[in-house]
Chain A
Amino acid sequence: MQDPRPQAQLLVRNDHSSLCLLWVWYRANGGEARLEEFDAYLHGLLVLDPFDLKILAWAMEDYGRARVSLP
């Protein structure tokens, strides 16, 4: 599986408000890290369980799907 963090970093850099929403989707998929930890994790400053990479990939999928349907 490709590391989804570079793509997530790009997303957050272009639209800072997306960090919170991406984190909520990360939590929705079983992620346990707090928002600050999640931010640090995206930027390679914190190491989490390898399973978190999968969770982040699912979160990115859900985030992308939700964004397509803005009112």
Chain B
Amino acid sequence: MAISPEQELLVQLQDLIIGTDSVSDFLTSLAGVAAATISRSAGTDVECGVTLKRHRASATVGGSSDRAVELDRIEQYAGPGPCMTALRTQTSVLLGDTRSDSRWPEYQKQLMEHGCFTTLGVPMELNQEASAALNFFASQAGVFSEAAVRDAAGFAEIAGHAVRLAVKVATIQGVAQDMETAMKSRTAIDLACGIVMAQNRCTQSEAMKILTKASSTRNQKLRDLAEEIVVKASGEKPQTHFDRATSKPHPAQTTTN
């Protein structure tokens, strides 16, 4: 079965999500693919920066090169340019020639100082909690033809799906990590409870009452108090053992010859 270029790109971007460990790494790889794709359309070397803004988080920036990241950040200190405008208006914004355009004078001046004479901002459709845009840069003015702008918008449409997925995966991974940390924290309290039960020959609920009372009296977090009790009793900090899928097989699953 023949695969369309769009499907091929989607598979490539999905592989990037699987192959990278963080949203930031994914954005860097995505910017590389975007730069290569639009360089072919424009017929010249193009660099790409990508900015992702998530609700209640600072912006994450990736680039096809260090210079692309640097160019992408110019808008943060020189004021808005095509990328921020594209994010705001949700349409592609072309700055064809920094020498003759009059829309963003300070931004254009900074771009020219970096040897960049044209830029194209293309928004990616995400969701209410996040927004992202691709920012293409070239040293030569006027390289983004109508066809190249169309290609960039087509790329952004597919890339938007991949960015949404990458953000979702990262969020789930983050929640899983938090849950694991939280579950580890509970271990100290449960162990301390057992120690108090043994020392006082009391029930679990009575032991918890003793612990909470001591925590209140000392004005100390229950978890910290529990950790102290465990260290005092065993000489070492409490540990939680998770049986991971990647760990050694369970003895019952091993075969002997």
Interface residues of chain A, those whose CB is within 8 Å of chain B, are: 17, 21, 24-25, 27-30, 32, 49, 51, 54-55, 58, 62-63, 66-67, 69-71
Contact = CB atoms under 8 A, between A and B. Distances in A.
Contacts of A55: 222
22 contacts: A17-B175, A21-B175, A25-B178, A25-B185, A27-B186, A28-B184, A28-B186, A28-B223, A29-B185, A29-B222, A30-B223, A49-B212, A51-B216, A58-B223, A62-B182, A67-B56, A69-B174, A70-B54, A70-B170, A71-B21, A71-B22, A71-B173
B33 to A, nearest CB: 21
Contacts of A29: 185, 189, 221-223
Contact-residue bracket for chain B:
20 to 34
The 7 closest A-B pairs by CB, nearest first: A28-B185, A28-B182, A30-B222, A24-B182, A66-B178, A70-B174, A71-B170
B189 A21 contact: no
Contacts of B226: 30
B57 interface: yes
Contacts of B175: 17, 21
B58 to A, nearest CB: 10
B178 A24 contact: yes
Contacts of B22: 71
A69 to B, nearest CB: 8
Given A58-B223, A71-B173, A71-B174, A25 B208 contact: no
Contact of B183 (A28, A51, A66, A69): A28
Nearest to A52: B212
Given A21-B179, A30-B186, 15 more contacts: A17-B175, A21-B175, A27-B182, A29-B221, A29-B222, A29-B223, A30-B208, A30-B212, A30-B223, A49-B212, A55-B222, A58-B222, A58-B223, A66-B178, A70-B174
Nearest to A50: B216
A24 B179 CA distance: 7
A49 B216 CA distance: 13
B191 to A, nearest CB: 12
A24 B174 contact: no
Given A51-B212, A70-B171, A71-B174, A24 B223 contact: no
B182 A25 contact: yes
B181 interface: yes
A17 B174 CA distance: 13
Contacts of B171: 70
B94 interface: no
Indicate the member of B170, B184, B186, B216 with the most A CB atoms within 10 Å. Answer: B186
Contacts of B69: none
A71 B54 CA distance: 12
Contacts of A17: 175
A71 B226 CA distance: 30
